[in-house]
Structure 1
Amino acid sequence: MMKRKDENIKLSGKVTIGATISFPETTEDQAPAVLFIAGTGPGDRDGNVGKFKLNIYKMIAEELTKAGVITIRYDKRGVGETEGDLNKSGMWDLVDDAQTALEYLRSHPNVDKEHIYVLGHSEGTMLATALNERTQVAGLILLCGAADTLENATKYQRELMYEEFNLEKGFKGWLLKKLNVVEKSEKNAQKIFNRMVETDKDMIRIQLIAKMPAKWFREHHNFDLFGVLKNTTCPVLAINGTKDVQTRLENVYEVPKLVKGPSEVHAIEGMNHILREQKETVSIQKIKGFYKSQSNEPLHPELMLTITNWLKKVYNKESANWRLINDHVKSGCNITSS
């Protein structure tokens, strides 16, 4: 019999990875499991990036363990207890780390090896899709980024920024137009992207100060996300939020057109990229400050209900764990950051 607990562990892969595996309270020897793959940036296992203490993945993990599911989440390269340098790491290095965590789950005696799911958030949706092509899992949960490439997502964010520039009034608006800020900004962005694609270095410097992860961008650029999705046969849950300004909402509806296996798509009203409820419209120029102000806010109330409901459908094994998921769906869930 397992008691609900968190266990901090070290995983041996291409680098040593710091991780947390969380166990539910269950009467069975084995339970389904979910592996978390984080979004872009130097994030820790809980979903915190620098000053942004968001605890995204910690909160989701706590809800899933209540539903009878084992979870594992880990620090990204060069963060927390994980070795390496994120600036010099490529997309496939990050997939390697996810595979290390997946293989650990597959070897764990308490994990139902036929029911290991991968949850990717933001860039993690791309990495989860790539991981599933390499070694198929029981299902994919793609949050805020399904059917969206890195280049398309960053282009969308720049377009929103330029729209805001063009709407500026008064002296600021006049100055932006006079200095051709939109045209110069886009030209500079394309110049940087071309440098990263054309170089064979892991990292480049822009104006001798900013470090740009060239290997990471180059490997994303060369990754055929849509081709891989077309070969995906496992069940897929794709969720976007209507207030997300970091990925295009309508892309989520491309998932059923691409994948071969069963898929379910949700656009959660009022959910933003950090999985919180957002009622107001927020400028993309001020989005970081707004995210920081939401640090102590709970997850969007519909998010975990949607995830656990889907797990109930795909994990169709009659067991105590299945009943735990079913009971959790009925009771609803809403957890606050701590």
Structure 2
Amino acid sequence: MHEHQIHVTSGEHVLVGSLLLPEGEGLFPAVLLVPGSGPVNRDSDHPRARLGITRQFAHALAQAGVASLRYDKRGVGASTGDFKSTGLHENADDAGAALAALSARPEVAASAVFLLGHSEGALLAAAVAARGRPVAGVVLISCSAAPGEEVLRWQAAQIAASLPPGVRVLLRLLRTDLVRQVRKNHDRIRATTTDTARIGLVRLNARWTREFMAHDPREDLARIHAPVLAVTGGFDLQVDPAHAEVIAVTVAGPAEAHVVPGVSHVLRSQSGRPSLNSYGKDVRRPVDSRVLGLVTDWVTRHSGSAVDG
């Protein structure tokens, strides 16, 4: 494998990323890897958790003969800008600029370029594909298929139910309803007009949150005519696993949907009941091999027809 640092211009900003090429010569099929939500870098690493999701996809794809580009989000790592003031739609613009840069690389077969996104990155990949950018296929990992505000309420309900019994008892004693609190916070965020706002004790990206809550990915999905692979973990507490099948029936082109048993939102396997509490320990292990296998097999299978076409 050979890795090169590259710079992508997106409006007034410069995104810095890594182009990973397989061994050998010639034109390679390639995948743009779009990272998930939060201030994550090109490897999907967060300041509080080294997720490594896009890095592991990049290496699995390279071993299968597929090039990839992954990049630091705006205002993260080596990329310019301010993460806390960047909206969801600007993130989609950045993904579109990165796709154009990857397609223009001399090492890449322009007819065999794919989009792959995880979590928010999946929403961005769908948005870019819906704009009519030519792609050979779209891989949506842990992608929601409902308005963002509905997704956030679903998350709150799942997380509340997954808390240890003692914590749930304490919340009842304190008369704290997590779902109701989330709805109140949404009302406060909708009332904001600034890029950032303080909700309770947390300063958050209010612009991104407003745009996310109002965003319905089904509108983008219905405009995607390229082949689509949707993969979600059966233990995902942040995206309803049933949305994988919704994606498959909503997109305009051919689609496959897979729910991988026992896999969480961070794409690691869990035993017992699904829980966020084990994420810190889970991410010390690799991304589940079943997820990596589904993606690399699908991309290589579709790469041949894209190049031949």
Partner of 2:9: 12
Alignment of 1:269-284 (within 5 A): 269-284=261-276
CA distance in 2, matches of 1:146, 1:220: 11
Once the two structures are superposed, residues 316-335 of structure 1 have per-residue CA deviations (whole angstroms, 9 ceiling, x without a partner) of 3498x9xxxxxxxxxxxxxx
Distance 1:175 1:101, change over 3 A: closer
Distance 1:311 1:213, change over 3 A: same
Partner of 1:306: 294
CA contact (8 A) 1:8 1:19 kept: yes
Partner of 1:113: 110
Correspondence 1:206 to 2:199: yes
- SS of alignment partner, residue 313 of structure 1: helix
Instruction: Note the aligned Cα RMSD (angstroms).
Output: 2.1
State the shift of 1:199 in Å.
2.6
CA contact (8 A) 2:6 2:19 kept: yes
Distance 1:179 1:25, change over 3 A: same
Distance 1:280 1:27, change over 3 A: same
CA contact (8 A) 2:160 2:168 kept: no
Partner of 1:181: 176
Question: Which 4+ stretches in 1 moved above 3 angstroms?
Answer: 172-175, 185-188
CA contact (8 A) 2:188 2:199 kept: no
CA distance in 2, matches of 1:67, 1:168: 45
Q: 1:230 aligns with which of 211, 219, 222?
A: 222
State the shift of 1:158 in Å.
0.7
Q: 2:88 aligns with which of 88, 91, 95?
A: 91
Once the two structures are superposed, residues 5-26 of structure 1 have per-residue CA deviations (whole angstroms, 9 ceiling, x without a partner) of 0111222222111100111113
Distance 1:173 1:48, change over 3 A: closer
Partner of 1:266: 258
- One-letter amino acid of the counterpart of residue 301, structure 1: S
- One-letter amino acid of the counterpart of residue 208, structure 2: W
CA distance in 1, matches of 2:233, 2:174: 35
Correspondence 1:71 to 2:56: no
State the shift of 1:127 in Å.
0.9
TM-score by length of 2: 0.92
CA contact (8 A) 2:75 2:83 kept: yes
CA distance in 1, matches of 2:132, 2:117: 15
Once the two structures are superposed, residues 254-285 of structure 1 have per-residue CA deviations (whole angstroms, 9 ceiling, x without a partner) of 1222111000111112221111222232434x
Partner of 2:190: 197
Q: How many residue pairs are counted as aligned between the two chains?
A: 306
Rg larger in 1 or in 2? 1
- SS of alignment partner, residue 33 of structure 2: strand
CA distance in 2, matches of 1:148, 1:300: 26
CA distance in 1, matches of 2:305, 2:171: 60
CA contact (8 A) 1:123 1:150 kept: no
Structure 2: stretches of 5+ with no match in the other structure: none
CA distance in 2, matches of 1:243, 1:102: 31
Distance 1:24 1:149, change over 3 A: farther
Higher strand share: 2
- SS of alignment partner, residue 315 of structure 1: helix
Distance 1:32 1:130, change over 3 A: same
Partner of 1:327: none
CA contact (8 A) 1:146 1:238 kept: no
CA distance in 2, matches of 1:11, 1:314: 26
Partner of 1:329: none
Once the two structures are superposed, residues 79-125 of structure 1 have per-residue CA deviations (whole angstroms, 9 ceiling, x without a partner) of 11011111111001101111111111122111111111110101111
- One-letter amino acid of the counterpart of residue 92, structure 2: V
Q: 1:141 aligns with which of 133, 139, 142?
A: 139
CA distance in 2, matches of 1:282, 1:225: 25
State the shift of 1:211 in Å.
1.2
- One-letter amino acid of the counterpart of residue 81, structure 2: G
Percent identity, please. 30
CA contact (8 A) 2:264 2:274 kept: no
State the shift of 1:313 in Å.
2.7
Structure 1: stretches of 5+ with no match in the other structure: 322-338
CA contact (8 A) 1:146 1:239 kept: no
My pick for the range that moved more, 309-318 or 220-229, is 309-318
TM-score by length of 1: 0.84
